[in-house]
Structure 1
Amino acid sequence: MKSIVDPQGALARGLAAIRAEFQVPASFPDQVVATAEQAAGRTPSDHADRTDRPFVTLDPATSTDLDQAFAIERAGSALLLHYAIADIGWFVEDGDPVDAEAWRRGTTLYLPDGKAGLYPPVLSEGAASLLPDGPRPAVIFTIRVAPDGIVHLDGAERAIVRSRAKLGYDAVRPDDLPADLPELAARIAAAEQARGAARVDPPEQEVAADRGGRMELMFRPRLPSEEKNAALSLAANMAVAAALRAKRTGLFRVMAEPDARAVARLRHTARAFDVAWPDGETLDCFERRLSARDPKEAALMMAIRRAGNGTAYAPFRDGERPWHAAMAATYTHATAPLRRLADRYVVRAALAVANGRTVEPLVTDAFERLPKVMARAEALAGRVERAVIDLAEAVMLHGREGQRFAAIVTDVDERGARVQLCDRPVLARIDDKGMTPGEAIDLRLVAADPEARRIAFRRDD
């Protein structure tokens, strides 16, 4: 859960209830921990020495599960991104207790008060994490980025790396980073623009007290360093996806376009936030010009992210084109193996393909099984996220019962009407079917119960 943070602990009691309700694991079984501790002492034996490369990491300052480190160099008109990915696969044996537990979990679960990791901390925040306290095993993807932003996987190898610095988004200085990072990020952004991509990255929401002491949901502006870092993962994932698809293998991240009804809801949401969206402008064009620095546009970005037909994983199929609508490209997940199970197998396939080897049958079989496993894990993460949002909204509105709120009806179905508040990033339901999408109404807050994670409005006539 990265979309809401809670620095003042306003959600603490409710989060404990959410953890209990959704059975969020608080620890790992003893056998899993023992196996992980033994694996953490393994000495890499088939890794090249790349400790001379000036790798650095760039993450939230408090993060310790570091999946990626990077270095950049020029090669004529191209830029070479050396992207080191945590080699968790080196520490996990197929079928061992750590592997079995990872298949049960599927992904790391995030909540504002902490996470439930995919792997035990001795690996994910220790031996396998690309921390700057010593050499670490990694898989290095070498990505060639052309002047027009087109990417190509030049190579992949297991290697020992040493991070020079653990850089934080909020404190990093330009001279801490590779000199060519701004140009590389600009090339990737230009390529996105050229192919019509509409990647939406809304900022985090933070539960914090306003000047009057009331709790509010506020957006934390997305930092330029985050934007540049996101370009690195995008470049690597696209290059790996293309390489795997060319060899008729892989596991891809797919996403359909929002349907007409979802787009209509978003137009009403934009109206609620007083964000101009001309009738003839497509959703793709509209969302590309939204700014996460504007609170209302940030809230709209959040609505867009949640409005699509959902993302899924799909293995390679002859005659099918795996497509991610927001990326406007074939796309995979390979850059966060400490946090997503699927990435570990995509990395293994990329190592094989880049070095002229056949992808192992075990990996090919995993590609068939992973979509269901990842869908189950993401469904749980989605339910937890929705519960946290419900809690945050109830905390924010608690004590405001009886107040009036302007809203826009975004949709009407058999359950009633969905309404978007005009001055807060809150989407609610009211039991009233006699409304028209796009209608402006006034609501009266009837209840805001943090214990039940429930808010209730009625139309105020």
Structure 2
Amino acid sequence: MELHQRIVSAPVDFGAVRTEFGLASGYPSEAVSEARDAVDAFAGDRVDRREIPLVTIDPPGAMDLDQALYVARTPTGFLLYYAIADVAAVVVPGGPLDRESLARGQTLYLPDGLIPLHPQVLSEDRASLLPDRDRPAALWTIECDELAEPVRYSVTRALVRSRARLDYAGVQADADANRLHPALAALPEFGRLRIEAGLRRGAINLRLPAQSVVRDGPEQTGINHWQLVVEPRTAVDDWNEQVSLLTGMCAARIMLDAHNSGASGKTIAASAAETSAADTAATPAPVETTAANGNPEYPGLLRTMPPAPAGAVDSMRRTAAALGVDWPARESAGRMLAGLDPNTPAALVLMSEATSLLRGASYTVLNGQAPDSVQHSAIGAPYAHVTAPLRRLADRYATEICLSHHAGIEVPQWVRDGLKAAAEAMRRSDAISAKLERACIDLTESTILVPRVGTDFDATVLREANHTRPAEIFIPTPPVLAKCLGSPPEGKQVRVRLAESDPATRTVTFVYQAEATPPG
């Protein structure tokens, strides 16, 4: 089943969605002025690392460039440099920009534009890691062994200079043609090893079709037409994601080691190296909780996810058996899913059901109390957001904590005072972001499908109906995830009929056409 499909477009106005969610139409002028006049508060303390040939990888046209990387093979493994925009250096604590970013939490994306966390003069210019410009950064240095497991890592304030702005499709084409930029020559091997390391930890990566709403035709034409697509995910997406995940895991380890021991920066680095080296032996045991009484002088901010609910994996195993998918008793859910062809009905069903394993993501503040868990179950390790501070508030706080720990200095008071509010802002904005994305997709689906009411479609049944909810289906052309009336059989390819499509309520209704379903 081919999942990347272009469909007929339709005019869609997202203004009603903006109004419904009360999205800000502009940035306060005093905050914009602060962003325009921003200066690097740590200009005199930075190490000059402009010699590192860093590059960025982002979607085409992106200007808010948070990360720049360089990864190379060494005689003992790999060396990774990962530069992250140093937003804390250009935002005045307690100032207009700080207050407004706290109210927003994160950048919100709509098909026709974005609601930025920071004024675009900052996020797309002054603080963005644009090519051929000197920029302040938090520079992570991560040394890895032959299995791409971290042995030593550190983070420090540095002055960096990106060499090129690359995009995923371009880097994938270069990888396929064996002509990668020198800064990325080791990325394919590194990324594959890190993916395997994740499977050893029990990480789960879902590859469900990800719907996107994209403009149909150039924006300059003034035609406000939109289409639904399922964007192809490249291997480069996966490799680049592993760089960010590794950095977030190192950040979490720094914060946990400090919080649990009250260690100095030097001791933290040593304990991190010892912990990482130990983790390379077989499958590392998960860290479930901090010490009974953490040190409140060493706060932290983790991205956490609780273990899967009791019985969820057993339910998945029953589904796999019913679908004829071989799942050895000792194999993790993540490894089983990784071995499936994502374009098959069985894979779609199992990945859809696996979402039940990955619920309850939140932000956990380390403040002297022992949390219920510090683990992120989808990653299989403690984890912290530190790689997207231009777009996500939590990263500014977590990065500043890591910088302080590594330097052996006290965590700034503004971080301690604002940590709880920052975590709450992230929880609130995460919920808004998810609802906003769904609303835009639902509006586009229902608008595009209006003229096709009464039409039959081929669909894969992701979940059968039960007493509390209707069945859920995936239609590849156009790419639609929807509820379906009737009792279509789970894991089967069936025919469904579009009974209703209502843009006013952003709903579509399909009905199972049992008599029209092809055999098998």
Q: Choose the corresponding residue for 1:237, options 242, 245, 248.
A: 248
CA distance in 2, matches of 1:108, 1:305: 28
> Which one is further off, 105-114 or 331-340?
105-114
Matches within 5 A, 1:19-58: 19-39=18-38, 44-58=43-57
Change (3 A) 1:301 1:313: farther
Match of 1:224 in 2: 235
2:360 maps to 1:310: yes
Match of 1:63 in 2: 62
Change (3 A) 1:31 1:152: farther
**How many corresponding residue pairs?**
450
CA distance in 2, matches of 1:156, 1:379: 31
Matches within 5 A, 1:160-175: 160-172=159-171, 173=174, 174-175=179-180
Report percent identity of matched pairs.
34
| Equivalent AA in structure 2 for residue 312 of structure 1 | S
Please give the per-residue CA displacement for 1:131-179, whole angstroms capped at 9, x wherever unaligned.
Answer: 0141011110111222223225522111111111111111232431422
CA distance in 1, matches of 2:145, 2:70: 16
Change (3 A) 1:355 1:259: same
Match of 1:89 in 2: 88
Match of 1:181 in 2: 187
SS in 2 for 1:19: helix
SS in 2 for 1:107: coil
| Equivalent AA in structure 2 for residue 35 of structure 1 | E
Change (3 A) 1:200 1:146: farther
CA distance in 2, matches of 1:430, 1:247: 51
| Equivalent AA in structure 1 for residue 352 of structure 2 | A
Partners of 1:202 and 1:301 within 8 A in 2: no
2:482 maps to 1:428: yes
2:384 maps to 1:332: yes
CA shift, 1:82, in A, is 1.1
CA shift, 1:444, in A, is 3.6
> Which one is further off, 92-101 or 389-398?
389-398
CA distance in 2, matches of 1:176, 1:301: 37
Please give the per-residue CA displacement for 1:400-425, whole angstroms capped at 9, x wherever unaligned.
Answer: 22234566483656654233246565
Match of 1:130 in 2: 129
Match of 1:196 in 2: 202
Match of 1:259 in 2: 309
Partners of 2:106 and 2:426 within 8 A in 1: yes
- Pairwise CA RMSD: 3.7
CA shift, 1:182, in A, is 2.3
CA shift, 1:81, in A, is 0.9
CA distance in 2, matches of 1:127, 1:13: 33
Match of 1:447 in 2: 500
| Equivalent AA in structure 2 for residue 419 of structure 1 | E
CA distance in 2, matches of 1:246, 1:43: 26
| Equivalent AA in structure 2 for residue 180 of structure 1 | A
Please give the per-residue CA displacement for 1:283-339, whole angstroms capped at 9, x wherever unaligned.
Answer: 3333222455x3868866873675432311111243644111111111111000001
Change (3 A) 1:9 1:61: farther
CA shift, 1:443, in A, is 4.6
> Which one is further off, 183-192 or 394-403?
394-403
CA shift, 1:349, in A, is 0.4
CA shift, 1:225, in A, is 2.0
CA shift, 1:16, in A, is 2.5
CA shift, 1:276, in A, is 5.4
Q: Choose the corresponding residue for 2:509, options 439, 456, 460.
A: 456
CA distance in 2, matches of 1:260, 1:123: 46
Please give the per-residue CA displacement for 1:16-71, whole angstroms capped at 9, x wherever unaligned.
Answer: 32122212223211111111111158783322211111111111121110001112
Partners of 1:6 and 1:112 within 8 A in 2: no
Change (3 A) 1:76 1:439: closer
Please give the per-residue CA displacement for 1:84-106, whole angstroms capped at 9, x wherever unaligned.
Answer: 00011111011111110100000
Please give the per-residue CA displacement for 1:361-420, whole angstroms capped at 9, x wherever unaligned.
Answer: 432333333332111101111110111221233244332222345664836566542332
CA distance in 1, matches of 2:110, 2:27: 17
Partners of 1:203 and 1:222 within 8 A in 2: no
Partners of 2:472 and 2:481 within 8 A in 1: yes
CA shift, 1:262, in A, is 6.2
Change (3 A) 1:408 1:389: same
Match of 1:115 in 2: 114
Match of 1:346 in 2: 398
CA distance in 2, matches of 1:73, 1:442: 51
| Equivalent AA in structure 1 for residue 43 of structure 2 | P
Partners of 1:449 and 1:455 within 8 A in 2: yes
Partners of 1:243 and 1:353 within 8 A in 2: yes
SS in 2 for 1:175: coil
CA shift, 1:233, in A, is 0.6
Match of 2:292 in 1: none
| Equivalent AA in structure 1 for residue 243 of structure 2 | L
CA distance in 1, matches of 2:49, 2:195: 29
Q: Choose the corresponding residue for 2:426, options 374, 392, 399.
A: 374
Please give the per-residue CA displacement for 1:195-215, whole angstroms capped at 9, x wherever unaligned.
Answer: 2211235564345899xxx99
Match of 2:277 in 1: none
